[in-house]
Amino acid sequence: MDRSAPQAPVAPGSDVRPVVRVPVALRVNGTERRLEVDTRTTLLDALRDGLKLTGTKKGCDQGQCGACTVHVDGRRVLSCLTLAASADGREVLTIEGLGRDGAPHPVQEAFVRHDGLQCGYCTPGQIMSAVALIQEGRAGSDDDIREFMSGNLCRCGAYPNIVAAIRQAAGRGDHA
């Protein structure tokens, strides 16, 4: 895809930079989606504002809370720190695409069973991180789970329930 875009003229001595828009093609939750975005648009904003997929949450908008976690090409990323243009041509999985055939993903079921969602705001990012850490084989112990989930913050303090949910989804049962 040609990313060259015409540059608008800038007045001499001006600090204002022109808005440059580029075409972006993403495969989101298994469906090809095309957008034209400002080169500064984050993947988070492209998903929420451009594609109306609002399950991914905007928390701190600085990459510190994990509420915006999605998978890009099977790896978890903070979508608030990822430019949409850098995801061009890549596979993006959001919380909306996690379940199959109308059924929730096993991690989603475990979060419900263990009440790992309290207010629910952080839950999409928590679930996306949990799915990734299980796929990465990093759910070996409760300490491992805590370590690899440490980038996802929960203001409600549902951490013990979140760990229990991940433990169950990873096939380690209900007890440590």
Quote the crossing angle between the two packed helices 159-169 and 123-135, to the nearest 10°.
40
The whole-number pLDDT of residue 106 equals: 97
Q: Going residue by residue through the chain (176 aa), what tens digit of pLDDT does each one get?
A: 445 555 556 666 667 778 999 999 999 999 999 999 999 999 999 999 999 999 999 999 999 999 999 999 999 999 999 999 999 999 999 999 999 988 999 999 999 999 999 899 999 999 999 999 999 999 999 999 999 999 999 999 999 999 999 999 999 765 44
For residue 16, give Cα distances in angstroms to 4, 6, 12, 13, 55: 20, 16, 10, 9, 34
Which domains can be identified in the chain, with CATH numbers?
21-96 (3.10.20.30), 106-169 (1.10.150.120)
3-state DSSP assignment of residue 72:
strand
Q: Give, in degrees to the nearest 5, the angle at Cα 113 between 112 and 117.
A: 35
What are the strands, taking DSSP E only, across the chain?
Answer: 21-28, 31-38, 69-72, 75-78, 91-93
Backbone angles phi, psi at 22, to 5 degrees: -130, 150
- Per-residue pLDDT at 17: 77
Q: What are the tokens at 27?
A: 């495969």
Residue 6: the pLDDT is: 54
pTM (predicted TM-score): 0.86
In this predicted structure, what is the pLDDT of residue 176? 44
Phi, psi of 160 (to 5 degrees): -60, -35
CA angle 76, 80, 84 (to 5 degrees): 85
